[in-house]
Amino acid sequence: MMRNSMIRRQVETSGLIRLSGAALALTVIALAVFSAQGQEKSTPLSRVERLGRAPVSKDVLWVQLPRPTITKLPNGLTLLLLEDHKLPTTTFTMWIRPGQLADPGELPGLASFTADMLREGTESRSSLAIAAEADSLGATLGANSRFGASYTVVNASGFADSAPQLLDLLSDIVLHPVFPPAELANYKQRETAALEQRLANPAFLGQKTFRQVLYGEGPLAVASPTKDSIARITAEDLKRFHDQHYRPGNTILGAVGDFKTEEIRGLISKYFGTWSGGAEPPISPAVKAEPLPARITLVDRPGSVQTFIIGGSLGIRRSDPEYYALQVMNQILGGGPQSRLFLDLREEHGYTYGAYSNFNAEIYPGEWLAAAAVRTPVTDGSMERFIYQFKRISSESVPQSELDDARHAIVANFALSLEQPGRLLDNWMTVQYYGLPADYWDQYASHISAVDAVGVQVTARKFVDMAHLQWVCVGDRYQIQEALAKYAPVTVVDADGKPEK
């Protein structure tokens, strides 16, 4: 009880609370216990009021992250090293630019294919040997290059005492892949089947078409390989892409875990010190300067029992100062089950299992979008509710209590996520990669908490711009086209994006 009282007094009297991720989690739990103990023991459970909120102070939760050591090897490889001795594990993560932005127009997916094939054989290890060695270490080893991302991610994690073996394995697949033809043939077969499945998914079709609408042409408009690019890809294509872009000058290698900084730096130098290649000039993808007039692109999916609806616009770069206000606005509008879209379309009207919004911020302006899969007969009503909430967030001041809840949710989720060493490392990789201020995460909670109702409204008017909002609807055109035409001009396309009559 004494400990709970001390925690309560600290929350009540502090103007600013500085907590580590672990301390914050314990504080929230302790406050919940204190609240429960403060109830009259004779109070029936049925009379206990459930507010659906954690009992935390309205003051800013200030979380100060441990700082990594940032250094470079002589070959240009940037190292970001963060000691964390809570668990006997170590995680390595590599961000290698330019990722999918370097895909040639005739081979969409080349960056993704290259990353996926790294584990399929090196000069000294077969695919089976790589998998067996990772399993024997109890380690994870993976790589991916997502569409829309400006970097490839390669990572490895395992027990701290296996760090030399992990680095040996990690460096081998990054520096010495051979892309065996037999493994490539198997991979192409799997990818072709996976693509067929994705093309049958209305959500995938919607997202694919939305990027085409927003970005027009070039790598930013691409959200998937094609059957042709999968069929045409060769081991020589993969090797050429690897040799051109997998360079230490293009790479940040982060490590977090139970190690001494100088020791892990020496190990990394041992396994990656001979890697060569300077940094490439950054790719600056072209983005449409002028927003398009509002319109609806209808992807015809005959016989569909649902309509997948997306509405959105171009967003921001990760380094833009609008990031904080957009995050708060998005949280209020569609950031979770407490958001306006979810409560309106699901809870009040029963049109969908869920309606959400989110945004992507990269080295280029990403996209902001809201989406829901709704029953075909309620397509009209769903569009009406989307538009109502879009206009409301732009025209009405957000009530203070709703604003407080949104800001607290963002900061609390951020603080609790820091218990995961991988997330902690990703945060610092983000700072390094996007050139954010060194104290970015120290000030993060304060910046989020400084977003006021005016800031939310100004941000909504910019990004939820009804005159230029782009819509994509995937469904049966003969059941929904007439209803959609009430809201904006409609262009009908097939699953490949080709116009239909």
Taking only the tens place, the pLDDT of each residue in 463-479 is: 999 999 999 999 999 99
Residue 287 confidence class, pLDDT cut points 50, 70, 90? confident
If one counts every other C-beta atom within 10 angstroms of the C-beta of residue 189, the result is: 11
Q: What is the pLDDT of residue 405?
A: 96
Look at residue 29 and tell me whether its pLDDT is greater than 90.
no
The answer for residues whose C-beta is within 8 angstroms of residue 406's C-beta and 6 or more apart is 328, 331, 332, 335
**Which of 318, 378, 316 minimizes the C-alpha distance to 346?**
378
Q: What is the pLDDT of residue 59?
A: 55
Q: Are strands 352-359 and 367-375 parallel, antiparallel or unpaired?
A: antiparallel
Residue 291 confidence class, pLDDT cut points 50, 70, 90? confident
Mean pLDDT, range 313-334, rounded to an integer: 97
**Which of 207, 229, 174 minimizes the C-alpha distance to 308?**
207
In the block, tokens 């590599």 appear at: 94
CA pair distance 391, 166, nearest whole angstrom: 52
The upper half-sphere exposure of residue 354, i.e. CA atoms within 13 Å in the direction of its Cβ, equals 7
Structure tokens, 220 = 């930013």
Question: What domains are defined for the chain?
Answer: 2-57 (no CATH), 69-272 (3.30.830.10), 295-493 (3.30.830.10)
The answer for residues whose C-beta is within 8 angstroms of residue 200's C-beta and 6 or more apart is none
Q: What is the pTM of this model?
A: 0.86
Greater model confidence, 217 or 14 = 217
Rounded percentage of the chain residues whose pLDDT exceeds 70: 87
Look at residue 44 and tell me whether its pLDDT is greater than 70.
no
Look at residue 258 and tell me whether its pLDDT is greater than 80.
yes
Q: How does the average pLDDT of the chain come out, rounded? A: 89
Cis? peptide before 164, omega within 30° of 0: no
Alpha-carbon distance values, 8 to 3, 25, 31, 336, 416 (Å)? 9, 15, 7, 29, 19
**Strands of the 306-314 sheet, one edge to the other:** 352-359, 367-375, 306-314, 470-475, 295-300, 490-493
Greater model confidence, 290 or 199 = 199
Rounded percentage of the chain residues whose pLDDT exceeds 90: 81
Q: What is the pLDDT of residue 21?
A: 36
Look at residue 13 and tell me whether its pLDDT is greater than 80.
no
Q: What is the pLDDT of residue 501?
A: 75
Residue 458 confidence class, pLDDT cut points 50, 70, 90? very high
Look at residue 240 and tell me whether its pLDDT is greater than 70.
yes
Least confident among 148-152, 282-286, 489-493: 282-286
Q: What is the pLDDT of residues 117-139, one digit of tens each?
A: 999 999 999 999 999 999 999 99
Q: What is the pLDDT of residue 342?
A: 98
Mean pLDDT, range 398-405, rounded to an integer: 97
Q: What is the pLDDT of residue 233?
A: 97
Q: Which helix (H) or strand (E) holds 226?
A: none
Q: What is the pLDDT of residue 288?
A: 77
Residue 6 confidence class, pLDDT cut points 50, 70, 90? very low
Q: What is the pLDDT of residue 388?
A: 98
- Residue 374 pairs in a beta bridge with 307, 352
CA pair distance 209, 473, nearest whole angstrom: 9
Q: What is the pLDDT of residues 416-441, one digit of tens each?
A: 888 899 999 999 999 999 999 999 99
Greater model confidence, 45 or 408 = 408
Q: Which helix (H) or strand (E) holds 129?
A: helix 127-137
Q: What is the pLDDT of residue 54?
A: 45
